[in-house]
Amino acid sequence: MTPDRVFRWLDLAGVAVFAVSGALAALHSQLDLLGVIVIASITAIGGGTLRDLLLNRHPIFWVEDPWPLYVILSATLLTVLYVQVLPVPFRALLVADALGLALFAMSGAQLAEGARHHSLMVVLMGTLTGVGGGMLRDVFTAKVPLILRQDIYASAAIAGIVLYLLLQRLGVARSWAFGLGLASIAGVRLAAVAWDLQLPVMLPR
């Protein structure tokens, strides 16, 4: 299997994981089936859609390739059926979510980099791709977005993308820099989950 094919399957797996997290949030908010599908879709492709709009990339990725939509619908319906009979494997979902975050953030960074945007824009677009869907999910389900709370989530994406760019500046091959950036995002996020690591809360005096 070629690297592009592997990346393609990993990308769709990330879509599925984010769709599941959106579906679970919608079910927790007691939405109907249509609402569950909408929130799952927003979570899975919201970040990439915002990225494409801001970078003026047309057609938007899921308009050009409808496979993410098929994956979202399948993952959502399976989630709805699964929770009727079995408990939700939250720990497994957290691990999968960390991998999805890493993959989406790095793929978004590479798209911005390929369009020859400034390094700061690469970091911003990569981070938006990784966390934008979850941010929209939280807004639509009336929660304070995860990226605005103490959880090490967006900060993990930022750190991994910065590492990716720095390694390339130091002469490391792009493929190696990508892999190390990917691993660092997933590793930091998983460490934060495992040891309950959080950023300090900013309180007024």
* DSSP code per residue over 16-58: HHHHHHHHHHHHHTT--HHHHHHHHHHHHHHHHHHHHHHTT-S
Q: Which of 47 and 150 is assigned the larger pLDDT?
A: 47
Residues in a beta bridge with 151? 198
In a domain, 120, yes or no: yes
Q: What is the pTM of this model?
A: 0.90
User: Burial, 12: exposed, middle or buried (Cβ in 10 Å; 0-12, 13-18, 19+)?
Assistant: middle
- Of 197, 199, 5, 7, the C-alpha closest to 102 is 7
Q: What pLDDT digit, counting tens, does each position of 107-136 carry?
A: 999 999 999 999 999 999 999 999 999 889
In a domain, 110, yes or no: yes
CB 182 within 8 A of CB 160: yes
In a domain, 42, yes or no: yes
Number of domains comprising the chain: 1
Q: What pLDDT digit, counting tens, does each position of 59-72 carry?
A: 999 999 999 999 99
- Give the model's pLDDT for residue 142: 82
Give the residue numbers spanning the domain of 189: 3-195
In a domain, 201, yes or no: no
